[in-house]
Chains A and B, each alone.
Chain A
Amino acid sequence: MTRVIRYAEARALQGHRAGFASRVVADLVDLGVAWLLGLSVLAAAGVASYLLTGPPFQLPVLPNWLDATAGAAIAVAYLALTWAATGRSVGKQLAGLRVVDRAGRRLALWRSFIRAVLYVLFPAGLLWVLASRRNASVQDLVVGTAVVYDWAYHPAEEPVAADDGHLPRPARSTKHA
């Protein structure tokens, strides 16, 4: 099932590597999602505590190290699983992005896991997108991945392809550096 994309410029850029702004938006959304996930884990723990020990109901207060570790673990799990499953987390779905490997295919689980760990430990690696001629972050360079514009649904194993029939700015996309 592929739906029609209304914007000609968007059709032309499908499969191209995404720029900094889109990826920051996607990652901010994912940060929020990870935070909500952590909060819901805490809430679940609070409910369990309430059911077992009785009132008052309150969220468990963790020591900082455990708080940070658990939060990071949740974020890594969330990102690694979603990237490996479909290539798109919630934020990337919203921004119309997809994480693929060098061949344009879905990531293997180990690759997406390493990428997630690297992002959680070193988020500033994303800034390299600004400087990279291929819009690659540090993590992309290390793990061998790319983030592309992909608004439509694809079968997992099918490489993402651009719609080259509608290139509004051919010089931008066809000229090799």
Chain B
Amino acid sequence: MQDSERALVPLGSAGLPPVPGGRIDMPRLLAAAMFGLAVEAQRRSLNAAGAVAGRLGWPLRVLARPAVAVARGSVAVAGHHLNLDGWAALGLAEQRRAQAVAVKAARTLIAALVAAVLDEIDLDQVVGRVDLDRIVARVDLNQIAARVDLDAIVERVDLDAVAARIDVDAIARRIDVDAVVGRVDVDAVVARIDVPGLTEQVIDEVDLGEIIRESSSTMASETVDALRVQGMRVDGLVSRIVDRILLRDGQRQTDPLHGQPQR
């Protein structure tokens, strides 16, 4: 027993349980005194031995080494002859049994204590005394959210696997399309669309007549122009041939007509 532990455990008559009637229980007093005497004697002898060992430390250790060696040898020999292992096993078993008993007793005690404590506590009252609002007010959700690494979480989610587990067909089968369509008021939708306005807008943007005029007139005029220019060339050719036959030396007078006398 250490000094500190002894300080926690009061010794002497103060520690003895009071006896009814004020009389002293003599046998219990004597047993306790003997136990205290033994403890005190052990303590003092240990102190004395420590003091001697402190003063004669190293010569004693030097002298003791051979003796210890011899003693160890003899202990080994004795152990060999005296079946010390068997005794040690017996001691260990006894030790474990004592431990088990102690643990069992401790558990029983703890269970009894907890039950008693719980009996004493009115949980409703405890809960009633907890101000959840204050607790919640002290929780900084933003800070918590900031500490959550969403990317990492999302990375760990296997969306393909999730999608593979979804039976779209089954979901689609459960949707009553007719009911959905039936709830849509098509007339109202159409009524909200300004069809004439839209049509006018489109027609305003697209000048269909101009497009048709452009394309058709371009095509037609290209063909007609080719025909006309061929006519012009043949006109010139015919004129030159006739002029040569008629032995004319000059060119024909085909100028524009303004003020020209007709011949």
Asked if residues B263 and A160 are in contact (CB atoms below 8 Å), the reply is no
Asked if residues B232 and A173 are in contact (CB atoms below 8 Å), the reply is no
Asked if residues B229 and A104 are in contact (CB atoms below 8 Å), the reply is no
From B237, which residue of chain A is reached at the shortest CB distance? A21
Q: Does A22 reach chain B (CB closer than 8 Å)?
A: yes
A103 to B257, CA, bound (A): 6
A6 to B250, CA, bound (A): 29
Report if A134-B254 is in contact (Cβ < 8 Å); known contacts: A10-B228, A22-B232, A25-B231. yes
A172 to B248, CA, bound (A): 14
B224-249 contacts to A, CB under 8 A, are 224-225, 227-229, 231-239, 242, 246, 248
User: Across the interface, which residues of B come within 8 angstroms of A148, CB to CB?
Assistant: 256-257
Central interface residue in A5, A133, A148, by most chain B CB within 10 Å: A133
A12-38 contacts to B, CB under 8 A, are 13, 15-22, 25
Asked if residues B262 and A133 are in contact (CB atoms below 8 Å), the reply is no
Report if A20-B235 is in contact (Cβ < 8 Å); known contacts: A95-B227, A102-B257, A131-B242. yes
Asked if residues B228 and A151 are in contact (CB atoms below 8 Å), the reply is yes
Central interface residue in A3, A22, A102, by most chain B CB within 10 Å: A22
Q: How far is the CB of A118 from chain B (nearest CB, A)?
A: 16
Asked if residues B234 and A135 are in contact (CB atoms below 8 Å), the reply is no
Asked if residues B252 and A94 are in contact (CB atoms below 8 Å), the reply is no
User: Across the interface, which residues of A come within 8 angstroms of B255, CB to CB?
Assistant: 16-17, 162, 173-174, 176
Q: Does A66 reach chain B (CB closer than 8 Å)?
A: no
Asked if residues B256 and A135 are in contact (CB atoms below 8 Å), the reply is no
Asked if residues B221 and A3 are in contact (CB atoms below 8 Å), the reply is yes
From B224, which residue of chain A is reached at the shortest CB distance? A94
Report if A177-B256 is in contact (Cβ < 8 Å); known contacts: A19-B236, A22-B234, A95-B228. no
Report if A130-B242 is in contact (Cβ < 8 Å); known contacts: A94-B227, A104-B256, A144-B262. yes
Asked if residues B238 and A130 are in contact (CB atoms below 8 Å), the reply is yes
Interface residues on chain B, number (Cβ under 8 Å) = 31
Q: Does A7 reach chain B (CB closer than 8 Å)?
A: yes
Q: How far is the CB of B111 from chain A (nearest CB, A)?
A: 113
A10 to B222, CA, bound (A): 13
Asked if residues B256 and A19 are in contact (CB atoms below 8 Å), the reply is no
Q: How far is the CB of A160 from chain B (nearest CB, A)?
A: 7
Q: Does A149 reach chain B (CB closer than 8 Å)?
A: yes
User: Across the interface, which residues of B come within 8 angstroms of A146, CB to CB?
Assistant: 257, 262
User: Across the interface, which residues of A come within 8 angstroms of B250, CB to CB?
Assistant: 133, 175, 177
Q: Does A136 reach chain B (CB closer than 8 Å)?
A: yes
A146 to B136, CA, bound (A): 108
A20 to B228, CA, bound (A): 13
Q: Does B95 reach chain A (CB closer than 8 Å)?
A: no
Asked if residues A21 and B235 are in contact (CB atoms below 8 Å), the reply is yes
Chain B residues engaging chain A, CB cutoff 8 angstroms: 221, 224-225, 227-229, 231-239, 242, 246, 248, 250-260, 262-263
A-B pairs with lowest CB-CB distance, top 4: A19-B235, A96-B228, A21-B234, A22-B231
Chain A residues engaging chain B, CB cutoff 8 angstroms: 3, 5-7, 9-10, 13, 15-22, 25, 94-96, 100, 102-104, 130-131, 133-136, 140-141, 144, 146, 148-149, 151, 159-162, 171-177
Apart from the given pairs A133-B250, A160-B256, 9 other A-B contacts in the complex at a CB distance below 8 Å: A7-B225, A18-B235, A20-B235, A22-B234, A94-B224, A134-B263, A135-B254, A172-B251, A177-B250
What are 7 of the A-B contact pairs (CB < 8 Å)?
A7-B229, A9-B232, A9-B233, A21-B237, A148-B257, A160-B256, A177-B251
